């Protein structure tokens, strides 16, 4: 079996740490593992298979002899180093939004559109966390019954904004419990002007606003879903909201299929057999997906499946998955595993 030299850029971040953890359990044979981060994090150590690895500062020299590079720092870092890494022969799997919508960069969820990997040019984009869990659910439904329309409202966890945001939520929460005023410096977006506390709040802004009043996160869900699913006429609307949850994005999804006479049981059957999906849908026994039960797990959990009361082709779903795992690190590692399966790596 082939052995690979692997680099993780952003190895000390929320997603990078998860990639490290998942690589330990992966079938990918690793010869050499290079952990890269900013100068600030260089010198720290992370454990991999009981061995301490020292984190190095990312430079142009970091990618020598690397076969596979996971990028999970920022769009800026990806833009700065991806070409060097590719020129030196690496295949880059990028978790940022930098190249997702580029026409010649495959945007891949292995359960959904692995065939796109053939068209890789040493650069594969990992979709946005909120997109991945939705599309993993929508794809089998679209294949079985067609899909015309999706309206989604999200309930997104703070870990999606990074470890510092998570720490800030904990500090804010403790402050509120102590009767003090919470301080905010990160959310809704560290690069935006104003910051609001997430503790005991719901913030209807993730990422920056575009001029049309939609946020970039909402545009990601809309555009990425269309690109991955390849349904030209698919209508997608999204409202993205941050809530005080650590890990696990929840989504309230309304969808309309094309076929007539589809039943809730038809949808359930399709989802039960869908790869990566776990049905949790027994309202009579209060079984439905929740962030705290999905956190730390690999699957996309679906429940509360019910027919719309007015539109016969309409259905409502509640979809939850760990945004750092299937929503980010796991999907990236699965892309690499799939490429090995397909002899592309």
Q: How far is the CB of 127 from a copy of itself (least distance, A)?
A: 19
DSSP sequence for 55-109 = -EE--GGGGTT-SEEEE-S-HHHHHHHHHHHHHTTPEEEE-SSTTTT-TTS-B--
Q: Which residues contact 290 (CB under 8 A, 6 or more apart)?
A: 248, 250, 320
86 in a known ligand binding site: no
Q: How far is the CB of 230 from a copy of itself (least distance, A)?
A: 17
Q: Under the criterion CB under 8 A, does residue 116 sit at the interface with a copy of itself? A: no
> Which among 38, 123, 124, 42 is positioned nearest to 73, based on CA atoms?
38
Q: Assess whether the previous peptide bond of 159 is cis (omega < 30° from 0).
A: no
Residues in 147-166 at the binding interface with a copy of itself, rule: CB under 8 A: 149, 151, 153, 155
Distances (CA, A) of 239 to 62, 149, 156, 242, 341: 39, 15, 11, 10, 37
Q: Under the criterion CB under 8 A, does residue 258 sit at the interface with a copy of itself? A: no
Q: Under the criterion CB under 8 A, does residue 235 sit at the interface with a copy of itself? A: yes
**Nearest CB to a copy of itself, comparing residues 106 and 303:** 303
State the catalytic residue, choosing from 120, 195, 240, 249: 249
Q: How far is the CB of 185 from a copy of itself (least distance, A)?
A: 14
Residue 240 falls in the annotated catalytic set? no
Q: Under the criterion CB under 8 A, does residue 196 sit at the interface with a copy of itself? A: yes
* Number of residues lying near a copy of itself (CB under 8 A): 59
Residues in 293-312 at the binding interface with a copy of itself, rule: CB under 8 A: 303-306, 308-311
Which two tokens mark 57? 């500062």
Which two tokens mark 296? 């730390």
- Would you tell me how many other CB atoms lie within 10 Å of the CB of residue 65? 12
Distances (CA, A) of 200 to 174, 175, 242, 244: 11, 11, 11, 6
Whole-number CA gyration radius for the chain: 20
DSSP sequence for 251-264 = EEEEEE-SSSS--H
Cα distance between residue 135 and residue 227, in whole Å: 11
- Give the one residue of 32, 119, 183, 200 binding a copy of itself; rule: CB under 8 A: 200
**Nearest CB to a copy of itself, comparing residues 83 and 201:** 201
- Give the one residue of 289, 299, 321, 329 binding a copy of itself; rule: CB under 8 A: 289
CA 285, chain centre distance (Å): 30
Binding region for a copy of itself (CB under 8 A) out of 37-45, 114-122, 139-147, 241-249: 241-249
Q: Under the criterion CB under 8 A, does residue 232 sit at the interface with a copy of itself? A: no
Q: Under the criterion CB under 8 A, does residue 197 sit at the interface with a copy of itself? A: yes
Q: Under the criterion CB under 8 A, does residue 272 sit at the interface with a copy of itself? A: no
Which two tokens mark 100? 């997702």
**Nearest CB to a copy of itself, comparing residues 320 and 329:** 320
- Give the one residue of 64, 254, 266, 342 binding a copy of itself; rule: CB under 8 A: 254
Q: Under the criterion CB under 8 A, does residue 265 sit at the interface with a copy of itself? A: no
Known binding residues for NADP(+) are 12-15, 40-41, 159-160, 323
> What residue ranges bind a copy of itself (CB under 8 A)?
149, 151, 153, 155, 170, 173-174, 177, 188, 192-194, 196-197, 200-205, 209, 211-214, 222, 235-237, 239, 241, 243-246, 250, 252, 254, 264, 283-286, 288-292, 303-306, 308-311, 314, 316, 318
């Amino acid at each position: 079996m082939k052995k690979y030299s692997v680099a993780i850029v952003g190895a000390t971040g929320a997603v990078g740490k998860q990639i490290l953890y998942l690589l330990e359990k992966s079938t990918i044979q690793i010869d050499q593992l290079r952990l890269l981060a900013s100068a600030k994090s260089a010198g720290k150590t992370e454990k991999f298979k009981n061995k301490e690895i020292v984190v190095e500062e990312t430079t142009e020299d970091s990618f020598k002899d690397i076969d596979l590079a996971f990028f999970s720092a920022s769009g800026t870092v990806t833009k700065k180093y991806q070409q060097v890494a590719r020129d030196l022969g690496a295949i880059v799997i990028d978790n940022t939004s930098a190249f997702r919508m580029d026409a010649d960069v495959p945007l891949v969820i292995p359960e959904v559109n692995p065939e796109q990997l053939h068209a890789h040019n040493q650069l594969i984009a990992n979709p946005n966390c909120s997109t991945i869990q939705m599309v993993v659910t929508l794809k089998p439904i679209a294949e079985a019954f067609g899909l015309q329309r999706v309206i989604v409202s999200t309930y997104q966890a703070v870990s999606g904004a990074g470890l510092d945001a998570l720490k800030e939520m904990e500090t804010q929460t403790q402050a509120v419990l102590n009767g003090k005023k919470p301080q905010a410096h990160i959310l809704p977006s560290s690069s935006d002007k104003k910051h609001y506390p997430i503790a005991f709040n719901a913030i209807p802004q993730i990422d920056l606003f575009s001029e049309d009043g939609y946020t970039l996160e909402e545009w990601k869900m809309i555009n990425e879903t269309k690109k991955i699913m390849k349904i030209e006429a698919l209508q997608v609307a999204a409202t993205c909201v941050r809530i005080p949850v650590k890990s696990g994005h929840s989504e309230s999804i309304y969808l309309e299929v094309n076929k007539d006479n589809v039943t809730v049981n038809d949808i359930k059957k399709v989802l039960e057999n869908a790869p990566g999906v776990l049905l949790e849908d027994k309202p009579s026994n209060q079984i439905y997906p929740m962030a705290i039960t999905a956190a730390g797990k690999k699957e996309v959990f679906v429940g509360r499946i019910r027919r719309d009361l007015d539109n016969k082709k309409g259905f409502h779903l509640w979809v939850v998955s760990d945004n750092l795992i299937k929503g980010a690190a796991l999907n990236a590692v699965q892309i690499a595993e799939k490429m090995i399966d397909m002899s592309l790596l």
